[in-house]
Amino acid sequence: MPASGRRTPMISSPLFRRLLLGFVLAALAAGFLAPVLGEPALTRLAWQAPAALMAVILAADFLAGLRRGSFGVDIIAWFALAGALALGQTLAGAIIALMVAGGSALEEFAEARAHHALAALLSRSARIAHRIEGEAIRDVPVAAIAPGDLLLIKPGEIVPADGLVHGAPALLDESALTGEPVPVSHPDGTQVRSGVLNAGPPAVIRATARAEDSTFAAIVRLVHAAGLERPRLVRLADRFALAFLAATLLLAGFAWLFSGDPVRALAVLVVATPCPLILAAPIALIAGVSRAAHRGVIVKGAGALERLARARTALFDKTGTLTAGTPRISGIEAIDGFDPDTVLHAAASLEQASTHAVARAIVAAAAGLTRPLAPPEAVEETPGSGLSGRVAGRPVLVGSAGFLAAAGLPPPTSGPLARLTAAAAAAAWVALDGRLVGVLLLSDPIRPEAARALRLLHAAGIRHLVMLSGDRQAAVDEIGGVLGLDAALGDLSPADKLAAVRAERARGPTLMVGDGINDAPALAASDIGVAMGAHGTAAAAEAADAVLMVDRLDRLAEALAIARRARAIALQSIAVGMGLSLAAMFAAAAGALPPVAGALLQEAIDVVVILNALRALAGRPAPRPLEDRTAVGRLAREHAELRTLLERMRRTAERIDRSASVPTDELRDIAARLTSLLLPHQKEEEKALFPALAPRLGGRDPLGAMHRMHDEIARETRRFTLLVDALAAAEPTAAEGRELRRLLTVLDALIALHLSAEEDLVSAVEDLSPAA
């Protein structure tokens, strides 16, 4: 049987393979029918013809391989055919010819099955785009798409280029890229990726990249790269296959020598099959690559998958990999008697002119302010440092300590403010009317699934977890401690990251996970680089060996499990197949297995080995989504609203802490939101979501802790609401102010913890992103 991936020129054409197989089957049938038709002499001729033809084909292919510098183990089949013809074993020769022709067809089938998910990805390439030009819509080739073009996506069509939704929301089926079974609604202004299917009404997107620079084009390049590298396991199998060829010829020679019967030598040659060596590994590994692609992880070939399976150390970038990569305001420190809301209002008004992630976080934090933001004027941005401009006619500066120092307003380098900013992930200093008025402290929250992903990686066999970051060591230590990492290294330049990767590689197989341009050298230097492709940079994806198309770190653990299972199946197929083949060879050498029976047994062994290798396509079934999609969607929306409310509660608690007055209007609004949003949200969860989760989790009362948390949140909310309602009767006392601040802090902690726990449960049950 031909070796996988090395079909020789004469048998490489699908049409020729089918014609050859048809001829061999027809000749075999004719040989059996000849005696029935009264022409027994034709039987010998009918069976000799396919054997002779196949011997010529294999000889020609073997010589062609030698000219290319390769030594094909299919020469065993040629020896068997030549021996069968020489000894008059015409039926055995015809069956061997059927084995070679049928084996090539079986290999083609197995490879098609193994590449199924990858082929499905490639089939989603859009060729025509509908470009909106004024009042007209013109069909253009996708290569003509330019950034800024408005594109109409009709129902059932593929999005041809990355872009932003324009106008009405777009309902998109992203399952081919992410493995998520449920279409996702993208509102106006949100980013969408090429290669996804419009599962709703016609939608309009504004292209942000050319088709060749878009997500799907990068995926196509990854898929094409999947067949270029020969895995280490396959290379070892090829070397053993050559040794197997020598052992087969020796055993056949000894069988003939000691028995004096050349038919025994023929039987050994017929039953000898190197297919478990040369087919099992590539088919199992490529099946694993296809399985990973089905789950939203694109692996650049069988070699990368095998290296992933052998990884024992995992290195992670911090920002965007272990953390969300989306900063948020964690505190506002005002100076010289200024109000924190005034500081935030001035900063957010100016930051409306910037597209930086920190600017978006500052503007989002100002959503809860009672007065609207003012339009900024005369804005000048210094990339990576800060902004200057005017808000309501007053000069405002927002930026780093160095930016304000360069403007003659140096922030303090010692004291409480300096210590607070040193402990924060980042800080944005604010100046108003030429005075330093405060600082906005920012945090980069840990991904909701990060802790679970690291636990799963440990369970899958990763022994050493390390974080590499260019951020300050103090911020890195905090994240490392929370996640229980084995090591957390901060203050690293790209060159330092590269050195750290090389040091870890010296200790064992290492994988590196990152998402930014500065991660590309480290990704390329590791044994297996993994890029966060959903929102990561193209440079990181190009340098990596695998790309997570879903913005979820726990898919890495799933890909690792798929890789290890595929490698284990490959090794199992090799061991079992070669064990059976060797046992059959010794039986043939002893005279217990005649050539015809040996040929049939050899084909059976090959079929069993290939079917076993294809088991790598299967695995743990994809989690079945919760039936009530409305409940899941409402959970995500209301959690986002509750997190915005928590930001308001934190700022209000800080205001009470800083001033003697109590912001009664703000407190009443918070109490009303808790009553109208939080409590109904909890009741609806207990009615619809929890009953759907409980059977999947198992146990007598799997959600008892969640119910207990609901009760505690409801109790503290009632206490807070009663106290706020009582403020209308009299001026609040200092004791009431302290109690209100305490209740806000307690509710903040309880609700935040509950939201994370709830999302983790839903994620664990159905493997859907909490943010989806």
H helices within 302-400, ranges in order? 302-310, 340-351, 357-365
On whether the CB atoms of residues 266 and 28 are closer than 8 A, the answer is: no
Residue 761, both tokens: 């449960």
Residue type, 78: W
Residue type, 286: I
Q: Among 488, 539, 463, 554, which residue's Cα sits nearest to residue 766? A: 554
Give CA 240 to chain center in angstroms: 34
Residue 88 Ramachandran class (φ > 0 left, ψ -120 to 50 alpha, else beta):
left
Distance separating alpha carbons of residues 414 and 190, to the nearest angstrom: 42
Distance separating alpha carbons of residues 155 and 202, to the nearest angstrom: 5
> For residue 398, how many C-alpha atoms fall within 13 Å in the half-sphere facing its CB?
30
Q: Among 498, 514, 509, which residue's Cα sits nearest to residue 547? A: 514
488 bridge partner residues: 467
- Judge residue 524's burial from the number of C-beta atoms within 10 Å of its C-beta, 0-12 exposed, 13-18 middle, 19 or more buried: middle
Distance separating alpha carbons of residues 198 and 174, to the nearest angstrom: 9
CA dihedral 530, 533, 538, 543 (to 10 degrees): 10
Q: Is residue 420 classed as helix, strand or coil in its secondary structure?
A: helix
Residue 212, both tokens: 């060749």
Distance separating alpha carbons of residues 42 and 279, to the nearest angstrom: 36
315 bridge partner residues: 466, 512
Angle at which helix 554-589 crosses helix 595-613, to 10 degrees, equals: 170
Mind giving me the DSSP string for 660-702? Answer: SS--HHHHHHHHHHIIIIIHHHHHHIIIIIHHHHHHHH-SS-T
On whether the CB atoms of residues 517 and 537 are closer than 8 A, the answer is: yes
317 bridge partner residues: 468
On whether the CB atoms of residues 125 and 211 are closer than 8 A, the answer is: no
Residue type, 337: G
Other CB atoms within a 10 A radius of the CB of residue 193 amount to: 23
- Judge residue 747's burial from the number of C-beta atoms within 10 Å of its C-beta, 0-12 exposed, 13-18 middle, 19 or more buried: buried
Residues forming the active site: 317
Q: Among 446, 443, 414, 410, which residue's Cα sits nearest to residue 429? A: 410
Give CA 223 to chain center in angstroms: 14
On whether the CB atoms of residues 440 and 428 are closer than 8 A, the answer is: yes
